[in-house]
């Protein structure tokens, strides 16, 4: 038999009193006992301020693979603001249990003060889902930031109108997605649904939209070339490089507007590791290995970690050629992790970065990380990593990405080809 959850918005509440447990039983007769997953629009209550969401879960292990589990994390309603308790998503309907004669418009539904709310109600606080849990339970950044998603019903993430409304009022996306933000006081955006409109650095709401709308890598930007996207995760997405050095040249890019991958939260760093593992397996199948590099400057806008596949026969030469190129420019790389532990190398990199420095680092196939801290008066070539690998691969004419551009039709074909081979490894699938 399917299970019914009655949950009250915002961010879902679970109802615990006996009267509504009886209503729960009645609902099972109409939907839950069918053994199907069903989630209707939230609806207003006849004599309560909050709204209710009905979710029916399918049978465990059902052949259709419909959702049969739904995680919740209760928070006492007593600590919620009045605005949170009275909030109503735009798709709220009338109660299906009110007869037509008693029906009233949603906007005229009776309200009662938040301080009178019974303490047996709890709010569902959105938490990050573990990797591999059912899709559709995590927020889609594209939809939340723009109101639309090109993947539509095929999107693996949740299209939540309520979250979109909060986002449009300057609530931090990480806070909406996980219930917390790793940036803490350094974050410019609100970390409370009752603090909507508060922007910590006093920049207007339009400043956030202005930055994102003019950025090539923000998924909410009209300038983003979304046809190059190959996978979208929770904190990162992957796209084929525009004007690639070699076929399957990939960019691993933060979903949010962030100037360096070294500034991303710990949870996002774990996801980055999963993407790197997946890319490694995909490239290995092609007889290649990945070289990762990132140029971080004080003027960087949106970070991108470049992943360039090189033949396995060239792997041992990567370290030597980067050291040689550094000598020719008059500097020496420091080895961050002499033991070759790649994860440890990333940890040390993150500890060295203070968000005010400029640096270049490269992650070698054997796991070592080479780092160069760039002085403020040093003229460091922005395309250094690509130029070095172009030399290694005897492709000097492809050092400049602008010489390697192809038509949009060719790019779409390249993306389709990559997706077919990468699908079995894609951590977002």
Rounded to an integer, what distance in angstroms lies between the CA atom of residue 258 and that of residue 187? 11
- pLDDT confidence bin for 298, thresholds 50/70/90: confident
Rounded to an integer, what distance in angstroms lies between the CA atom of residue 352 and that of residue 339? 18
Give the pLDDT of residue 346.
95
Mean per-residue pLDDT over the chain, rounded: 76
Boundaries of every domain in the chain: 4-125, 134-224, 227-422
Fold category of 227-422 in CATH: HIT family, subunit A (3.30.428)
- Residue 332 pLDDT > 60, yes or no? yes
Q: Residue 4 burial by CB count (10 A; 0-12/13-18/19+): exposed, middle or buried?
A: buried
- Joined together, the tokens standing for residue 351 give 């500890």
Residue 227 CA, distance from chain mean position: 18
**pLDDT tens digits for range 348-390:** 999 888 777 899 999 999 999 999 999 988 999 999 999 999 9
- pLDDT confidence bin for 71, thresholds 50/70/90: low
Give the pLDDT of residue 402.
93
Q: Residue 299 burial by CB count (10 A; 0-12/13-18/19+): exposed, middle or buried?
A: exposed
**pLDDT tens digits for range 77-94:** 655 655 566 666 656 676
Q: What are phi and psi of 320, to 5 degrees?
A: -60, -45
- Stronger pLDDT, 13 or 65, i.e. the higher one: 65
Single pTM value for the model: 0.57
Rounded to an integer, what distance in angstroms lies between the CA atom of residue 303 and that of residue 233? 16
CA distances from 303 to 18, 195, 298 (A): 52, 28, 12
- pLDDT confidence bin for 411, thresholds 50/70/90: very high
Give the pLDDT of residue 157.
80
- Residue 105 pLDDT > 70, yes or no? no
Q: What is the mean pLDDT of residues 167-181?
A: 74
**pLDDT tens digits for range 242-278:** 999 999 999 999 998 888 999 898 889 999 999 999 9
Q: Which of 122-131, 167-176, 247-256, 310-319 has the lowest mean pLDDT?
A: 122-131
């Amino acid at each position: 038999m399917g299970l019914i959850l009655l949950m009250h918005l915002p961010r879902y509440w679970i109802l615990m009193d006996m009267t509504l447990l009886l209503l729960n039983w009645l609902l099972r007769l109409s939907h839950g006992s069918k053994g199907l997953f069903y989630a209707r629009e939230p609806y207003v209550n006849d004599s309560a301020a909050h709204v209710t969401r009905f979710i029916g879960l399918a049978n465990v292990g059902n052949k259709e693979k419909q959702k049969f589990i739904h995680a919740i994390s209760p928070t006492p309603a007593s600590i919620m603001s009045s605005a949170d308790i009275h909030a109503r998503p735009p798709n709220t309907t009338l109660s299906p249990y009110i007869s037509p004669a008693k029906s009233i418009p949603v906007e005229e539904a009776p309200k009662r003060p938040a301080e009178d709310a019974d303490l047996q109600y709890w709010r569902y606080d959105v938490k990050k889902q573990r990797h591999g849990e059912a899709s559709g339970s995590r927020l889609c950044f594209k939809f939340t930031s723009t109101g639309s998603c090109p993947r539509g019903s095929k999107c693996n993430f949740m299209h939540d109108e309520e979250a979109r409304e909060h986002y449009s009022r300057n609530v931090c996306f990480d806070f909406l997605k996980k219930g917390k933000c790793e940036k803490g006081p350094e974050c410019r955006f609100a970390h409370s649904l009752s603090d909507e409109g508060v922007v910590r650095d006093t920049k207007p709401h339009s400043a956030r939209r202005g930055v994102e709308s003019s950025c090539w890598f923000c998924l909410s930007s009209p300038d983003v070339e979304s046809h190059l996207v190959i996978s979208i995760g929770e904190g990162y997405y992957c796209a084929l490089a525009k004007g690639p050095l070699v076929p399957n040249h990939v960019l691993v890019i933060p979903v949010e507007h962030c100037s360096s991958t070294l500034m991303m939260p710990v949870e996002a760093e774990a996801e980055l590791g999963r993407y790197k593992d997946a890319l490694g397996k995909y490239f290995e199948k092609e007889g290649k290995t990945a070289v990762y590099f990132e140029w971080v400057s004080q003027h960087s806008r949106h970070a991108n970690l470049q992943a360039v596949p090189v033949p396995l026969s060239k792997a041992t030469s990567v370290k030597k050629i980067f050291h040689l190129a550094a000598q020719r420019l008059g500097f020496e790389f420091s080895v961050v992790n002499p033991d070759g532990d790649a994860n440890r190398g990333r940890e040390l990199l993150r500890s060295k970065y203070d968000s005010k420095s400029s640096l270049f680092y490269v992650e070698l196939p054997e796991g070592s990380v080479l780092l160069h801290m760039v002085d403020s008066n040093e003229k460091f070539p922005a395309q250094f990593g690509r130029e070095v690998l172009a030399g290694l691969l005897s492709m000097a004419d492809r050092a400049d990405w602008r010489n390697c551009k192809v038509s949009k039709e060719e790019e779409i074909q390249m993306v389709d080809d990559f997706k077919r081979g990468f699908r079995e490894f894609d951590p977002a699938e």
